[in-house]
């Protein structure tokens, strides 16, 4: 197996065809096809399925691609060792939590005067699947995700199968948030079906993250379900009508500013996790971000209801 063959497979995954990948790598198309065939013969299994619309990866091919990305990253790191000045990269995928954004900003600031280059990005996601796929496809270096506590074992098996390393952060419950003037403001959230006649707001990923049965039943039963992020637009919607939101709790300061109250939903505890690729767990920059996230999440937890 040659490095050129591995890099060719990666380029095929990006371009969607052998001919386009060959063109990108300045190779003749027959040579690229022969290189793929030789690699498959050496490995003893098929990596690609050839179709009229291009190529797709077989199940084993997808697993091969994960390892190929890992080899490419390590090759890049090996070449970077010769450089005295530090090049920093951190691509983060995260649910919309303020502590994750604060940690990202702190991370960038910690390197801004010492790194030669600082290549960092923050992408918002709403489901565990998104966070996993972005890691597997090398789009990000770390994902902050949330899953139902009782189902952690189910997700843990998926993490292991995809060579992803979970880092537990803490537990947080789901809450109902609504205006102080809402008809249900004085009631606890122990019977969620009492809320079915009022407009409900939630994140896009709540149901697909396998919410508790009572929450799923409420989402199926409400007469109006609005999907939107936990930003200022949602807060404005909550403070101006009979709408309620299902989410993790807002900071006390935010609740006070917008005249809102929170009601804890029983048996709706969720695990907050960071996911990294197994082979990159000890990466210095990732460990620095993980440390900062742990500090920021503790501040956040101290500031919510």
CB 161 within 8 A of CB 224: no
Give mean pLDDT, residues 83-112: 87
pLDDT at 173 over 90: yes
For residue 125, how far is the Cα from the chain centroid? 5
3-state helix, strand, coil in the chain (%, to 5): 50, 25, 25
Top mean-pLDDT range of 15-19, 73-77, 173-177, 249-253:
173-177
Does the domain made of 86-169+271-303 have the CATH classification 3.40.190.10?
yes
**Matching CATH topology for 3-80 and 86-169+271-303?**
no
Using DSSP's 3-state secondary structure scheme, residue 30 falls into: helix
| Arithmetic mean of pLDDT over the chain | 88
Pick the residue with more confidence: 284 or 207? Answer: 284
What residues contact residue 174 under an 8 Å CB cut-off, 6+ apart? 211, 212, 215, 246, 247, 248, 264, 265, 268, 270
pLDDT at 7 over 70: yes
CATH code assigned to 3-80:
1.10.10.10
pLDDT category at 123 given cuts 50, 70, 90 is very high
Vertex 184, ends 178 and 189: CA angle to 5°? Answer: 80
Q: How far apart are CA 222 and CA 219, in angstroms?
A: 6
The domain defined by 171-269 folds into D-Maltodextrin-Binding Protein; domain 2 (3.40.190)
- pTM of structure: 0.71
Residue-range domain boundaries for the chain? 3-80, 86-169+271-303, 171-269
The predicted pLDDT at position 18 comes to 86
């Amino acid at each position: 197996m040659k490095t050129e063959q591995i890099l060719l497979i990666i380029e095929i995954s990006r371009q969607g065809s052998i001919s386009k990948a060959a063109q990108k790598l300045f190779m003749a198309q027959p040579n690229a096809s022969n290189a793929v065939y030789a690699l498959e013969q050496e490995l003893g299994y098929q990596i690609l399925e050839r179709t009229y619309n291009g190529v797709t990866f077989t199940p084993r091919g997808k697993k091969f691609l994960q390892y190929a990305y890992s080899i490419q990253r390590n090759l890049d790191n090996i070449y970077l060792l010769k450089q005295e000045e530090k090049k920093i990269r951190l691509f983060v995928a995260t649910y919309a939590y303020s502590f994750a954004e604060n940690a990202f900003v702190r991370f960038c600031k910690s390197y801004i005067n010492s790194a030669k280059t600082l290549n960092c990005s923050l992408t918002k996601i709403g489901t565990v699947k998104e966070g996993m796929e972005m890691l597997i496809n090398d789009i990000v270096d770390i994902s902050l995700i949330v899953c139902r506590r009782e189902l952690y074992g189910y997700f843990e098996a998926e993490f292991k199968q995809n060579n992803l390393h979970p880092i537990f952060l803490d537990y947080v419950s789901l809450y109902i948030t609504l205006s102080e003037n809402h008809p249900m403001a004085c009631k606890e959230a122990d019977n969620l079906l009492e809320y079915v006649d009022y407009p409900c707001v939630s994140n896009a990923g709540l149901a697909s993250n396998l919410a508790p049965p009572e929450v799923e039943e409420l989402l199926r039963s409400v007469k109006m379900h609005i999907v939107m992020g936990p930003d200022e637009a949602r807060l404005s919607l909550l403070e101006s009508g009979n709408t309620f939101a299902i989410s993790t709790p807002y900071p006390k300061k935010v609740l006070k500013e917008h005249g809102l109250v929170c009601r804890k939903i029983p048996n709706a505890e969720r695990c907050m996790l960071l996911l990294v690729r197994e082979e990159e767990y000890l990466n210095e920059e990732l460990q620095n971000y993980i440390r900062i996230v742990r500090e920021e999440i503790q501040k956040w937890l101290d500031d919510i209801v």
